[in-house]
Amino acid sequence: MPSVERSPRQLAEFLYLLTRQELKARYKGRLLGYVWALAHTFALAFVYWIAFKIIMGLDVVNYSVYLVAGMFPWVWLATGVTSATRSFVVNAPLIKEMGIAHAILPLSNVMQEFAHFVFALPAIIAWVWLAGGYVPSLSWLWQIPLMLALQAAFVYPIALGCALANAYVRDIDYLLGIGFPLAFFATPMVYPLSIVPDPLHHWFELNPLHALMQSWRSLFMESTLDPAQLAYVAGWAIALGAVAWALHRKLAPRIGEVV
């Protein structure tokens, strides 16, 4: 009798299929497919450009590039975590009736947004180049994959933790709806850190989201990565990973009963 193996390889295939089919399903019947995802983020950047550059007269060099280089990683983070948060509740039958390894579900959401980001890379690079005059550097070939891995490692524990918590306390979903816009403006995304006044400045610098987003911007605008900032984000990723692991150990056994 052949036996069904649920080896790491089988789980990796499942993750790949789940992510691919979800992306497929999302764009089925839509003519412009992922162009919508691109247009959404560019439109967001455009709105901030109008508001802060044109109306408020914010003085930042190459502000449109500054916005775009930060906005796409942010959308990956925020959308990934938000959709992952609902993943256990939305896919309750998979957990209850199929007994799948449920930690795969938020990972798939993070990977779907990861895929969106990777698909958007040509557009981001084109924008950085054409609008800002930053010529793509050969070093991006290792810098971009490094940043992709770092951000995925940072986002997944948050996604898993929120999904677990949301299975027990459904309000997490709504809390994130408030939390992400607040975090967006508490992180130097549409303004530079340098204009934040002194007592706050120090606190803003401690924000790991700033270190992450600033790394993306310095990658696209200067082709450099600050090892200290990378290490800081990596440290947070490890800490968040430990918290998510502890939550998983505590909450996972009864997940089939609460979703």
**Closest separation between CB of residue 158 and other proteins, Å?**
18
Candidates 14-22, 110-118, 139-147, 180-188 — which segment interacts with other proteins by CB under 8 A?
14-22
Q: How many positions of this chain bind other proteins (CB under 8 A)?
A: 37
Asked whether position 254 contacts other proteins by CB under 8 A, the answer is yes
The radius of gyration computed from the CA coordinates of the chain, to the nearest angstrom, equals 19
Asked whether position 97 contacts other proteins by CB under 8 A, the answer is yes
**Closest separation between CB of residue 4 and other proteins, Å?**
4
Residues 139-178 as x/- pattern, contact with other proteins by CB under 8 A:
----------------------------xxxxx---x---
* Alpha carbons 70 and 217: distance in angstroms, whole number: 6
* Cβ–Cβ < 8 Å for 194, 145: no
Asked whether position 99 contacts other proteins by CB under 8 A, the answer is yes
Report the residue number, 167 or 219, with the smaller CB distance to other proteins.
167
**Closest separation between CB of residue 1 and other proteins, Å?**
4
- The CA-based dihedral angle spanning residues 102, 103, 105, 109, taken in that order and rounded to the nearest 10 degrees: 170
CA distances (Å), 225 to each of 20, 121, 236, in order?
31, 18, 17
Residues 76-95 as x/- pattern, contact with other proteins by CB under 8 A:
-----------------xxx
Asked whether position 8 contacts other proteins by CB under 8 A, the answer is no
Nearest to 110 by CA among 170, 166, 145, 154: 154
**Closest separation between CB of residue 9 and other proteins, Å?**
7
**Closest separation between CB of residue 63 and other proteins, Å?**
38
* Alpha carbons 187 and 213: distance in angstroms, whole number: 9
Asked whether position 13 contacts other proteins by CB under 8 A, the answer is yes
* Alpha carbons 24 and 39: distance in angstroms, whole number: 19
Q: Which two tokens stand for residue 224?
A: 């450099």
Nearest to 195 by CA among 69, 95, 63: 63
Q: To 10 degrees, what angle do helices 63-90 and 104-132 make?
A: 170
In the complex, the residues that contact other proteins under the rule CB under 8 A are 1-6, 9-10, 13-14, 17-18, 21-22, 24-25, 28-29, 93-100, 167-171, 175, 253-254, 256-258
